[in-house]
Chain A
């Protein structure tokens, strides 16, 4: 039932970016001038690719530090004269940047945490509890992967509105909590766990709850990390749903706040807008740089991550 797993690349959890093949010393030694030239060409092409792909982010950071007169200049001024945080201050004056940041952090932590817990519990039940209809329940979970969230926005919006949840945290959070992808990955991993350990735990009198948190989860940490990190990135970046549910600034998340700033400031004030853009992107970028292996493993495992 590997419906959403890639046909062959990236094994579920611990894969990470593919490990570098061991260097071949024989090939390294007697290199012909032609091969060296080819290598030089390769390095050059790689540098060009890295500059083209990396430049926009660098440009964003630089522009967020420039004064208006530095921004609107032809020919371009590449570097700001001095590192001036005035744009950030002005962004924080226009929209409640601190509140938005706190909202984003809170919703991301709560959303990702709950998603992982729900997925772990559900996967444990699907693998270790012998009930007659568990195969049906598994199919219900896995089939949900095929239903794109974008299709459900209108009915979910009216439903959340009828609950009185517009402009609330639970309105942003709850509809996205159900975990199909995470449950699927956890289940695949749980199936590979050695039964002997759990049998021993059971003989020692450990109940299901204890077995799940004391034995199954510690043996599944790489998968938990991968699913959790993907959830963190997805929640942080989520735009359409929080944008629909919230129109009061005090409940907005950062990406939605960008829209607010864009509407207030228009396209006239690039420095301020880009400062806010840095605030939105920098945290995820840091998470990515620090935990690259696990995050990439999670992101490249499945097709539908929402």
Chain B
């Protein structure tokens, strides 16, 4: 019965009928019964989770590809096969350039901003200063909150007349832009909120990375007369490269899929100026009811995300080889 407990990789320690030394018939029968029992338990324990994954993850993925080749409206009894027609329409639509630009700006600003500000915050929190535990808690808290609620809260802060933001801008002699209505301010607003929500996460991961940078290396650099800035650039940042890469991938995936904040604050508007690819999929699929066309958009988003993941897997593999 030891085979049941064997760690993976030590598979097939059980009696093998095709093996060089065929076991006695009774043992084989016992082995077969045991294998059947193991199979039964496996089906019982792993089965529900696997069935749910197949039903609600794999099946819809395949169905999404299929739907993307159909002209079909949500709830309609008729669907017409159009081949790549939805893709052709998407690539030639007037709105596509705008959607792609918005997606690119939103993604670059949120990912780049979160990495830069998060690193800064982590460097600050890494120093042994009083109250840093509290600061860390405050910074991380927004990350656990509902994106929709956070969107509503910030909508109030951005209120051009009565919002906190307009008062703060007033302290610096600036007047509040029309955050809700005049592009590009709505996009800026959404980016700011996204940054606020995710900054603490990035900072915390960076903090973990920073604490693995050997203090001797920094001390040695300081003894050699390196300025703090120089130490950061030549020693700390290169050592943080794997962390940065991990965060880059994670934030890219999250940012490309973000929905709640945009839905709460701008509904993709005004004039589509905050409609990212993800938001367009929702809008086409569920507001305009064009499920086939939206599925084509979903496939394109999926390929984008897959490309990011593929780069990550390649890199992780390399790391394993060098490790």
Q: Which residues of A are in contact with B by a Cβ distance under 8 Å?
A: 2-3, 6-10, 15, 17-18, 20-21, 23, 39, 42-43, 45-47, 49-50, 53-57, 59-60, 63, 71-76, 118-119, 121-122, 124-132, 134-135, 137, 140-141, 144, 146-159, 161, 174-180, 183, 191, 195, 198-199, 202, 208, 212, 233, 236-237, 239-240, 243-244, 254-255, 258-259, 262, 267, 270, 273-274, 277, 280-281, 284-285, 287-289, 292, 295-296, 299-300, 303-304
Contacts and interface: CB of A to CB of B under 8 A. Distances in A.
Given A50-B139, A76-B164, A262-B264, 17 more contacts: A23-B128, A43-B130, A46-B131, A56-B157, A60-B156, A121-B48, A130-B11, A150-B259, A151-B60, A154-B64, A155-B63, A156-B56, A239-B260, A243-B263, A244-B286, A274-B156, A281-B153
14 contacts: A7-B242, A45-B124, A50-B134, A50-B139, A59-B156, A121-B45, A122-B49, A130-B6, A134-B8, A151-B305, A191-B7, A208-B41, A237-B145, A258-B149
B249 A303 contact: yes
A10 B64 contact: no
Q: On chain B, which size bracket covers the interface?
A: 35 or more
B297 to A, nearest CB: 10
A149 B298 CA distance: 11
Contacts of B299: 151
Nearest to A138: B8
B185 interface: no
Interface in B1-22: 1-8, 11-14
B282 A2 contact: no
Contacts of B319: 7
B289 to A, nearest CB: 11
Contacts of A135: 8, 11
A246 B54 CA distance: 24
Interface string B190-222: 000000100111001101110110010000000
Contacts of A284: 144-146
B161 A43 contact: no
A258 B148 contact: yes
Contact of B204 (A17, A144, A153): A17
Given A39-B129, A150-B281, A75 B49 contact: no
A45 B131 CA distance: 12
By CB atoms of chain A within 10 A, which of B4, B50, B129, B148 has the most? Answer: B148
Interface of B: 1-8, 11-14, 35, 38-39, 41-42, 44-46, 48-50, 52-61, 63-64, 67, 74-75, 121, 124-125, 127-150, 152-157, 159, 161-162, 164, 167, 196, 199-201, 204-205, 207-209, 211-212, 215, 242-243, 245-246, 249-250, 253, 257, 259-260, 263-264, 278, 281-282, 285-286, 291, 294-295, 298-299, 301-302, 305-306, 309, 313, 316, 319
Contacts of B137: 289, 292
Q: Which 5 A-B pairs have the closest CB atoms?
A: A9-B208, A155-B60, A178-B52, A152-B60, A125-B46
Contact of A17 (B136, B147, B278, B285): B136
A264 B23 CA distance: 75
B228 to A, nearest CB: 9
Contact of A153 (B42, B138, B285): B285
By CB atoms of chain B within 10 A, which of A60, A129, A159 has the most? Answer: A129
Contacts of B309: 146
Contacts of A8: 209, 212, 242-243
A212 B41 CA distance: 12
Nearest to B138: A54
Given A21-B211, A46-B124, A126-B46, A150 B242 contact: no
Given A10-B208, A131-B38, A191-B8, A148 B257 contact: yes
A124 B45 contact: yes
A280 B46 contact: no
A151 B301 CA distance: 8
Contacts of B61: 147, 151-152, 155
Contacts of B246: 6-7, 9, 303
Contact of B59 (A60, A155, A199): A155
A39 B200 CA distance: 22
Given A46-B135, A273-B156, A240 B259 contact: yes
Contact of B57 (A75, A152, A273): A152
B64 A151 contact: yes
B125 A46 contact: yes
Contacts of A147: 57-58, 61, 302
A289 B320 CA distance: 37
B287 to A, nearest CB: 11
B302 A148 contact: yes
Contacts of A153: 60, 282, 285, 298
A299 B121 contact: no
Contacts of B39: 131
A274 B163 CA distance: 13
Contacts of B209: 8-9
B5 A198 contact: yes
A49 B135 contact: yes
By CB atoms of chain A within 10 A, which of B132, B157, B208 has the most? Answer: B208
A285 B313 CA distance: 34
B149 A281 contact: yes
A6 B316 CA distance: 9
